[in-house]
Amino acid sequence: MSTVNFIQTLVVTFVTLFPVVNPIGDAPIFLSLTRRYPQSAQKLLARKIAAYGFVLLAVSFLFGSVILDFFGISLPVIQIAGGLVLAATGWSLLNQRDDASPGKQSPETLEDALEHAFFPLTLPITVGPGCISIAITLGAHLRHQAGTGFEHGYPRYFLAALLGMSLLCLLVMFCYGNADRLVSMLGKSGTTILTRLSAFILLAIGVQIMWNGLTSGLPEMFSKVVTH
């Protein structure tokens, strides 16, 4: 695996997950849930959310496709279904209305806030079912692309993807830890523009993964029909 492929895998992983994790767009939600606490408490929560989010993404990415293989689901089906999820998520983000108000009250104590660092601040606000599905799809796609042997650069593909996830989680920690400054700096319009641009990229990546599944799955399906 060349350095270019390593960087490409890292960037694709980051760009694919970014609009769904949406650390910039979710920063106002995090701020509204934690605004009663000092900056030090918000940074502690941000670190915990970033760590929990990385664990969720990494486990889904590394073992999700293995679980699907156990149930006999083929790679083209995973690619088509995962591509549909990506494309549908991108389309939804492109057309959603702006709403930064979560409609929930902030916890009354710091201990209560820390207890809710995983649920709901991490799951589902930061890393939801859509992110988990995307991580599984990326893992299956890279497993097929890299092969299963060390001679095909298998470990480096997954290391690049995990690095992309870790960078995204670091961005979550930064955005949440500085949510008050970020919201005042970007404003509502800036956050909306960035989210829409990322959503369009996500839509295009989803269509590409779905196309890869169709091009590899349809010939196999037709060959079986002809032989029968």
Confidence at residue 198, expressed as pLDDT on a 0 to 100 scale? 74
Confidence at residue 100, expressed as pLDDT on a 0 to 100 scale? 45
Confidence at residue 102, expressed as pLDDT on a 0 to 100 scale? 45
Confidence at residue 181, expressed as pLDDT on a 0 to 100 scale? 87
Confidence at residue 24, expressed as pLDDT on a 0 to 100 scale? 86
Which residues does 83 contact at the CB level (< 8 Å), separation at least 6?
A: 137, 206, 207, 208, 209, 210, 211, 212, 213
Confidence at residue 180, expressed as pLDDT on a 0 to 100 scale? 86
Query: Which residue has tokens 């890393």?
Result: 127
Confidence at residue 53, expressed as pLDDT on a 0 to 100 scale? 97
Confidence at residue 226, expressed as pLDDT on a 0 to 100 scale? 60
Q: What region does 147 belong to: left with phi over 0, alpha with psi -120 to 50, or beta? A: left
pLDDT means per 10 residues in the chain (228 residues)? 86 92 86 79 92 96 83 79 81 72 51 81 84 88 66 76 97 93 81 77 83 81 64
Angle formed at CA 111 by CA 105 and CA 117, multiple of 5 degrees: 65
Confidence at residue 106, expressed as pLDDT on a 0 to 100 scale? 45
For residue 55 the two structure tokens come to: 């664990």
- Please give the C-alpha separations between residue 154 and each of 6, 123, 138, 142, 151, in angstroms, as whole numbers: 11, 30, 14, 8, 7
Helix (H, G, I), strand (E, B) or coil at 106: coil
Query: Which residue has tokens 């959310």?
Result: 49
Distance of CA 83 to the CA centre of its chain: 13
Confidence at residue 104, expressed as pLDDT on a 0 to 100 scale? 47
Q: Most distant CA pair in the chain: distance in Å?
A: 69
Count of alpha carbons within 13 angstroms of residue 76, beta-carbon side: 11
Confidence at residue 153, expressed as pLDDT on a 0 to 100 scale? 58
Report the distance separating Cα 92 and Cα 88, nearest Å. 6
Locate all alpha helices (DSSP H) within the chain, ordered by sequence.
3-21, 23-34, 39-70, 75-95, 110-115, 129-146, 154-177, 179-227
Contact 10/156 with Cβ under 8 angstroms?
A: no
